[in-house]
Structure 1
Amino acid sequence: MPSFALSDQEITSIMAWVTSQEGAGTAAAATGGVTAGNKDAVDGKDAADGGGAGAGKYADVLLIVLVVVLIVLVVTLVIIANLMKDVLRGRKDLDGRDVEILEQRYDWANLYKSTALRGIVGTVVALALLYAGVQSVMAVGLTQGYQPTQPIAFSHKLHAGENNINCAYCHTSVYKAKSANIPSANICMNCHSQIKTESPEIKKIYRAIERKQPVQWVRIHNLPDLAYFNHSQHTQVGGIQCQTCHGPIQNMEVVYQYSALTMGWCINCHRETPLNTKGNAYYDNLVKLHDKSNNAVPFTVSSNGGTECSKCHY
């Protein structure tokens, strides 16, 4: 653990450097940090990634609107029919047959006893139950929205958002390993040996260090063992930002699973994400073959075999 016993001259130098760096958010953006300069782009990407969930909400809203329109239409027709009857009752030139038709009442009991109506209602109910059952089965094993309580109330909104700490500072292996590691206590203490040392939450870190036990963080994002995922392949090679999969992490007080992380969700991303092949001779022949066969479609991850089963299951 580094020492922060700084002299007055060292503190003055640090403050001068911090002042000179104000407004220089470009460098942080280049390293994958969340800055004011790239926040709009991140939010835009989040909106695009959330399109699947948004489509379901729009479908529900559309269904509600259609039901409301249907109810309004039926009520309007009933009102018009009653007005027409009132107008006809005021006429003097109606014969007995016309009056009989005008005054007849519909027997709603016959409608209730109708075999056709019962069949239609039964079919609608059966389809609704079948749809609900299929949705429940398809949701087995999905944990989108999962937001467990952590042993220490760590705020990503404060650290990654307000203080603009790069994700890789804590998750040190995110650009060079398969997994984005959970930060050890000494990384926390790089700052908190001097900052907010009396905070009840920070004291929990001190207790873990004294007991020589790691903090028992609750894992949120889980993939099945049959699926292979490499963080460095996506972040370092692919240049994918953390927010693409994890959502607006810089705005989360308590982290939750933002994306579905299903196979379909991953494959859709591979089909839609173009590969940056400029300056990489490895892709030259592949791009030429792709453009020769289908120039209208961009060269995506899928074009490079990104939807083959063996890419993730082997």
Structure 2
Amino acid sequence: GISAGFDSFSNAGKELIVQYQAKYEKDVECGGGYLKIGPKMSDATGFGDPTPYNIMFGPDKCGYTKRTHLIFSYKGKNVLKKTDLSYKQEGEGTSHLYRLVVKPDNTVRVEIDEEKVYEGSLKEDWELLQPKEISDPEDKKPSDWVDDSMMDDPEDKKPADWVEEKRMVDKRGQEARRLGRPGGPRVGGAHEGQPGVQGRVVREAHLQPRVKGFWEAKKIANPEYQDDDELYKYADFGFIGFDLWQVKGGTIFDNVIVTDDVSEADAFLRNGRPFTRLRRPKRPRKDKAKKAEARAEDKSEDDDIDDTKSDSRRIGAGLF
């Protein structure tokens, strides 16, 4: 993964706005485009999957499973939203803008491409808190409790002449006979359809007089429940990073901003820059033939990057 550190801050009593732009140059098929923001790291080079974070936000896709992740860390656990947010990172070559707003009233708003896709409560839409009530473990189902609303009539008897068998032995073929050639196998009498068949007898059902319905243990107050009006608050934000797994490369992230002022995020959106040209790592020394080949390759890649940059401006014209 890649990450960047900054001076630590807390979002206590303030809004937290996290905004960034993502672009897939190829159909990733399986991979993520989400970011993580969390407490200050002592060693940024160690950033990766085990690194603790406060919030994870952004698109994720693998096959037919698609969603926009929004995970909050609370008391050492990373908690997913109860229901998935819509996946909007469709169409390779098209950039998408993601904005997350976390408010001091414990509400959250998510926008993708400047359209609201979710607004709701941390308490209601994430299982961050223990439930207020639980089933009483001491409450047991009575032995005479009747769940079923219907019962078979005990007075309903099977008629003596009732026929259930669908097939009967053909009495005309009772004597064993030889099939085909002389010396062939002996077979028993043939079977034929039963003319008076009535099928399996079903006893008449009627309402159960003692029915009490579905039994459920009574609810009691959960002794482990503790309310928290500061679910939104984190004492320390000190890094932002992308820790991803993808089967294809070419994903671009840019225009990342973390702020407590929506107007600043809006201004950054309007006055921001198109996707910047990515730096390529230095190549080791090569012989002249390989250098010439590398220069030709570089020129081809430069043309591709320039096209991408121009395309980003065109596609993002309404976003900046």
What is the TM-score with the length of structure 2 in the denominator?
A: 0.23
Between Structure 1 and Structure 2, the one with more helix by share is 1
Between Structure 1 and Structure 2, the one with more strand by share is 2
What is the TM-score with the length of structure 1 in the denominator?
A: 0.24
